[in-house]
Amino acid sequence: MLGILVSIVDGVLVGSVYGLAAMGLTLIWGVMDVINLSHGAMIVAGMFGLFYLVTLGLPAYAALIPVLAAGFAVGVGLYWMSVHRMIGRPPLMSLLATFAVNMVLIGLGTALWGTVLFNVPVSLPGVAWKGYTFTGTHIMAAVATSVIAGLLYLFLYRTRLGKAIRAVAGNREAAELNGIPTTQVLALAFGLGIALACISGALIATLFPFTVLSGTAYQLKSFVVTVLGGLGNPAGALLGGIALGLLEGLLTPFMPVSWTTVIEFGVFVIVLIAFPRGLFGFLRHARSR
Amino acid sequence: MRKLWLAAAAALYLCAGSAFAADDTLTIGFTVSQTGSLNLDSIAQLHGFEMWRDDVNGAGGIKAADKRYKIAFVSYDDQSQGGRVQQLYTRLITEDKAQFLFSPYSSGLVATATVISEQYGKLMMSVGAAEPKTYQLGNKYLFQVYTPADHYLASAIELVKSKNPGAKIALVYSDDPFSKAVAISAREQAKQGGLQIVLDESYPPNQTDFSAIINKIVSSGADTLLGGGHYPDGATLARQLYDQKANLKWVTLLVAPDSPQFASLGGAAEGVSVGSQWAPQVTYKPDFGPTPADFAKRFQAKYNIAAGYHAAGGYAAGLLLQRAIEQAGSIDPEKVAAELNKMNVTTMFGATRFSTDPKSHGLQVAHQMVLLQWQSSNGHLENRVVWPLAAATAPVKFPYR
């Protein structure tokens, strides 16, 4: 029983980081209808960013800020290079454009670093309880995720820029008629989405060692989380991540770990069929009726 | 004008001359996982191949009867994918005309490559592949350099039994052919040793988060962890074991702790052990070729990294093929295979003999493994031989941390 409880708490802690990773993906989708397939590569970029900043002597959690800033700058650059011309075109175009960016980045990364495992040595005291340990890094990652999610909420709902992003997401033409420079807002939203991917990658790097190829697993999880939370809904993504972690935590004490992925993707398909707005999107829609 | 034609004819003759010289080149084909999850170990193996080739070519080539053959490699990136291996080995044989083959790295990829090499009757030195099933399919031209997977955890189980006869074992392993083969034998060996397996669980090879598995280990009451898979998952598991402080007395993981890179985990590496095909400290007296110490020293100088068993295995594969060609006095695959069947030698990699039983032809039956443990000395981590006691270079540290 104790093991199950510990597994659930651990699942929720890690799930919140999955949620953060998915928030970037869902924000980009919600604002510009682009499924960003370079999301995994950007998570890895965040991991490497943290690794090199820590190697330079910066404390791991202080290094999150430059990773966030660099992620934003890279995201804005990437928007102008590969996404801008695809806005308003069939979704397949942007899908292919971001997939190409993903392949280029992974190819470059493999050429530069190979698939050698990188480890960011972060040591924080954990909480020991009857033989089990909740590691300090897991707790810190969950706290950092909550802070970042809170700041994102404040930005989107309390600032003019945030409101502009939401206006563009709601109706781009109407936003433009009201004088909002939508192209710049789209670039800003894309930068923000990439920054979120990078910072989630950096937080994951404080928990587990990683390779150039690690992004794929987290990108897949981000898709599951996004579908659970509802496409285009950042708050739903966070809840979806926590739900996914909870599901993993609940399942693993009762079945081999190999089965959790099967069940996760089973849930993914069921939610996609039964609740195309996502689980939390469906609940919100039902409440508003 | 006539002079011009003569000059052209002379040039053509010279070109043809150099083309004929290519006949004295022996082409060996193989794939390397330059990219993908097996890249680290596969590239170490490639370094072993390359060092052997450079040694042979530096000494004037392989002597077969009255001819000398320089070695040329043709290789491609298999991206750690079985589908690519199948395609590329066909290409190596049919288009690149490779006369002999080295295997790719890992049991799964070798099983795929073997289908092609046997179909075309090409001799393949198998290295980096310990899973024994591939050698029980009636293959004629496949020869295994490594000790089969059955023995990977045998030394660790022996050690645990001697130090902790009431050990409770958690057997946690990657869901790939090699690790599953190791686990099957480990179950049997633990049972024979009277040790109890309290948790028996596999995980997907691309597993990145082991928190849930470690919680299960704690819940099971295990004090010994045996398992792992390849480098990425093994190193991640070691790091998380360190972070989550699972109450264990002994940890032996497959493959990962044998890599010099494992030391980058710092404190998480300390005390972790690995069944190894080879270590630079072994004291084999080779019948031919370099000594282990000489190989290790020259490898370090050439690549600026310590030699692990993947590199040593790669070098040994070349050395054994070379020996068979020299003994056969021919590059005819049938004659070379016959020499490999007769072979009973010791190299820098250890003893080598291949099974000639048709049910397990080519399976390695003489090579033995050692158990290495990462130990700290003056704040510096070193991988030391701790088992069997006869080969130990340092006393075992038990409990491991």
* Domain limits, chain A: 2-288
> With bands split at pLDDT 50, 70 and 90, how would you rate the model's confidence at A123?
confident
The verdict on a CB contact (< 8 Å) between A117 and B202 is no
Query: B118 — contact with chain A (CB < 8 Å)?
Result: no
Which of A7, A10, A51, A119 has the highest number of chain B CBs within 10 A, making it the mutation to test binding with B? A119
From chain B, the residues in CB contact with A132 under 8 A are 215, 218, 244
pLDDT digits (tens, 9 = 90+) for A150-169: 999 999 999 999 999 999 98
Please tell me the predicted confidence (pLDDT) of residue A233.
79
Please tell me the predicted confidence (pLDDT) of residue A45.
97
Please tell me the predicted confidence (pLDDT) of residue A254.
87
From chain A, the residues in CB contact with B43 under 8 A are 114
Mean pLDDT value across residues A117-128: 87
User: What is the Cα–Cα distance from B199 to B215, expressed in whole angstroms?
Assistant: 11
Cα B28 versus chain centre, distance: 18
Q: Is ipTM > 0.85 here?
A: no
Please tell me the predicted confidence (pLDDT) of residue B11.
47
Nearest CA in chain A to B267: A121
Mean pLDDT value across residues A231-236: 81
Nearest CA in chain A to B216: A253
B:178-217 residues touching chain A, CB 8 A cutoff: 201-204, 206-209, 211-213, 215-216
**Count of C-beta atoms within a 10 Å radius of residue B32:** 22
User: What is the Cα–Cα distance from B362 to B338, expressed in whole angstroms?
Assistant: 11
pLDDT digits (tens, 9 = 90+) for B121-163: 999 999 998 888 899 999 999 999 999 988 899 999 999 999 9
From chain A, the residues in CB contact with B175 under 8 A are 258
Query: A150 — contact with chain B (CB < 8 Å)?
Result: no
Please tell me the predicted confidence (pLDDT) of residue A285.
60
Please tell me the predicted confidence (pLDDT) of residue B10.
46
Q: B352 with B318: CB under 8 angstroms? A: no
The verdict on a CB contact (< 8 Å) between A119 and B239 is yes
CB-CB: which of B36, B215, B264 is closest to A3? B215
Please tell me the predicted confidence (pLDDT) of residue B14.
42
pLDDT > 90 in chain A, percent: 53
CB-CB: which of A2, A115, A209 is closest to B35? A115
pLDDT score of B5 more than 70: no
- The minimum CA-CA distance between A113 and chain B, rounded to whole Å, is 10
Please tell me the predicted confidence (pLDDT) of residue B130.
87
Query: Which residues are within 8 A (CB) of B296 and not within 5 positions of it... i.e. 6 or more apart?
Result: B280, B306, B307
> What is the DSSP secondary structure assignment for residue A210, as one 8-state letter?
B
The verdict on a CB contact (< 8 Å) between A119 and B265 is yes
- The minimum CA-CA distance between B36 and chain A, rounded to whole Å, is 7
Nearest CA-CA partner of B382 in B249, B227, B295, B273: B273
The verdict on a CB contact (< 8 Å) between A133 and B244 is yes
Collapsing DSSP to helix, strand or coil, A104 comes out as helix
- The minimum CA-CA distance between A50 and chain B, rounded to whole Å, is 16
A65-74, A267-276, B323-332, B342-351, range with the lowest pLDDT: A267-276
From chain B, the residues in CB contact with A126 under 8 A are 243-245
User: For chain A, what is the mean pLDDT?
Assistant: 89
Q: B313 with B345: CB under 8 angstroms? A: no
Query: A2 — contact with chain B (CB < 8 Å)?
Result: yes
The verdict on a CB contact (< 8 Å) between B212 and A126 is no
pLDDT greater at residue A118 or residue A2: A118
The verdict on a CB contact (< 8 Å) between B212 and A209 is no
From chain A, the residues in CB contact with B231 under 8 A are 117
Query: A250 — contact with chain B (CB < 8 Å)?
Result: no
Please tell me the predicted confidence (pLDDT) of residue A117.
84
User: What is the Cα–Cα distance from B70 to B314, expressed in whole angstroms?
Assistant: 18
B:124-163 residues touching chain A, CB 8 A cutoff: none
User: For chain B, what is the mean pLDDT?
Assistant: 90
Roughly what angle, to the nearest 10 degrees, separates helices A39-55 and A182-207? 60
pLDDT score of B66 more than 60: yes
Nearest CA in chain A to B199: A256
pLDDT > 90 in chain B, percent: 73
Q: B287 with B253: CB under 8 angstroms? A: no
pLDDT greater at residue A16 or residue A279: A16
User: What is the Cα–Cα distance from B354 to B367, expressed in whole angstroms?
Assistant: 10
- The minimum CA-CA distance between A182 and chain B, rounded to whole Å, is 39
pLDDT score of B89 more than 50: yes
Please tell me the predicted confidence (pLDDT) of residue A286.
59
pLDDT digits (tens, 9 = 90+) for B210-246: 988 999 999 999 999 999 998 889 999 999 999 888 8
| Residue-wise DSSP of B250-311 | EEEEESGGGSGGGGGGGGGTTT-EEEES--TT-----SSS--HHHHHHHHHHHHSS---HHH
pLDDT score of A26 more than 60: yes
pLDDT greater at residue B378 or residue A192: A192
Q: Exposure string (b/e) for A187-220, b if CB count within 10 Å is 16 or more?
A: bbbbbbbbbbbbbbbbbbbbbbbbbbbbbebbbb
CB-CB: which of A14, A209, A253 is closest to B211? A14
The torsion angles phi and psi of A81, rounded to 5 degrees, stand at -75, -45
Query: A257 — contact with chain B (CB < 8 Å)?
Result: yes
Mean pLDDT value across residues A88-107: 91
- The minimum CA-CA distance between B124 and chain A, rounded to whole Å, is 27
Please tell me the predicted confidence (pLDDT) of residue B19.
39
CATH 1.10.3470 corresponds to the domain A2-288: yes
Query: B265 — contact with chain A (CB < 8 Å)?
Result: yes
Please tell me the predicted confidence (pLDDT) of residue B150.
86
Please tell me the predicted confidence (pLDDT) of residue B23.
55
Please tell me the predicted confidence (pLDDT) of residue B148.
92
**Owner of token pair 């006949």:** B23
| Residue-wise DSSP of A274-287 | H-TT-HHHHHHHHH
From chain A, the residues in CB contact with B235 under 8 A are 117, 119, 209
> With bands split at pLDDT 50, 70 and 90, how would you rate the model's confidence at B20?
very low
> What is the DSSP secondary structure assignment for residue A35, as one 8-state letter?
-
